[in-house]
């Protein structure tokens, strides 16, 4: 499955040189409802959900991708105001989890006899990939990573590019000033072919489109 990761040029070039990508922690993400997309007016449930958030955050991280790269809002928010780059990967679909966008918070009545442990476990698992509907423009897919299996460098965790995380293209943002040849030289050492493309603002619609590939 082809998915995309927008990033600023400094971190993007570092990723390309080291052939790796940073694993994000839930506590670092820009949505305050990460792992909290549930009605927690019940005091006991609130305490349990917050404790679980800490537990999950300490054991698991994620890498966020988008099904789309052409949305100019994505470039503004994640591609350093169009000055960054997009790393496009091929990843087996069964390794990715599609984010579910909801209008309201999930309800879970822990005092009901019908709320079995199976129901609770399912609800808790869904919190890992549930976001408010207004984030829907991201068309996000998540690759979950056990922190124990990632390589730690300082306070950060990384996983290497691989057959399961195969870089196939680098797209320079419309305002990216980094020479394309610089990126081409880096990915030229990769075992598999990686395309390098420029992009520009579209002429006939709100969007970003490819300008041309660098040969």
CA nearest neighbour of 23 among 154, 167, 137, 186 = 154
* Alpha carbon distance 197, 60 (integer Å): 33
Q: Collapse the DSSP code of 129 into the 3-class scheme (helix H, G, I; strand E, B; otherwise coil) and give the result.
A: helix
Q: What is the pLDDT of residues 105-141, one digit of tens each?
A: 999 988 787 788 888 899 999 999 999 999 999 999 9
Q: Which conformational region is residue 4 in: left (phi greater than 0), alpha (psi within -120 to 50 degrees), or beta? A: beta
Residue 9: its pLDDT value, please?
98
Q: Collapse the DSSP code of 166 into the 3-class scheme (helix H, G, I; strand E, B; otherwise coil) and give the result.
A: strand
CB atoms within 10 A of CB 120: 14
Q: Where are the alpha helices (DSSP H) in the chain?
A: 9-18, 43-59, 72-78, 117-126, 180-187
Q: Collapse the DSSP code of 181 into the 3-class scheme (helix H, G, I; strand E, B; otherwise coil) and give the result.
A: helix
Instruction: Read off the pLDDT of each residue in 151-173 and give the average, rounded to a whole number.
Output: 97
Instruction: Read off the pLDDT of each residue in 183-201 and give the average, rounded to a whole number.
Output: 96
* Alpha carbon distance 202, 211 (integer Å): 9
* Helix, strand and coil in the chain, % to nearest 5: 35, 35, 35
DSSP class of 165: B
Q: What is the pLDDT of residues 74-112, one digit of tens each?
A: 999 999 999 999 999 999 999 999 999 999 999 998 878
* Alpha carbon distance 57, 10 (integer Å): 26
pTM of the complete model? 0.94
């Amino acid at each position: 499955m082809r998915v995309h990761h927008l990033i600023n040029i400094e971190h993007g070039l570092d990723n390309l040189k080291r052939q790796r990508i940073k694993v994000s922690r839930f506590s670092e993400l820009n949505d305050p409802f990460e792992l909290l997309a549930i009605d927690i007016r019940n005091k006991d449930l609130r305490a349990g959900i917050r404790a679980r958030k800490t537990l999950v955050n300490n054991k698991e991280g994620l890498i966020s991708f988008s099904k789309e790269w052409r949305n100019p809002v994505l470039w503004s928010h994640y591609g350093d105001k169009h000055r960054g780059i997009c790393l496009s990967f091929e990843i087996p679909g069964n390794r990715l989890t599609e984010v579910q966008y909801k209008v309201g918070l999930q309800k879970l009545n822990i005092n009901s006899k019908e709320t079995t442990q199976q129901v609770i476990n399912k609800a808790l698992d869904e919190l890992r990939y549930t976001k408010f509907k207004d984030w829907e423009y991201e068309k996000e897919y998540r690759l979950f990573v056990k922190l124990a299996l990632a390589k730690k460098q300082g306070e950060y965790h990384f996983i290497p590019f691989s057959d399961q995380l195969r870089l196939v293209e680098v797209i320079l943002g419309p305002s990216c000033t980094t020479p394309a040849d610089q990126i081409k030289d880096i990915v030229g050492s990769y075992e598999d072919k990686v395309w390098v493309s420029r992009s520009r603002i579209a002429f006939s619609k709100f969007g970003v489109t490819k300008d041309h590939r660098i040969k």
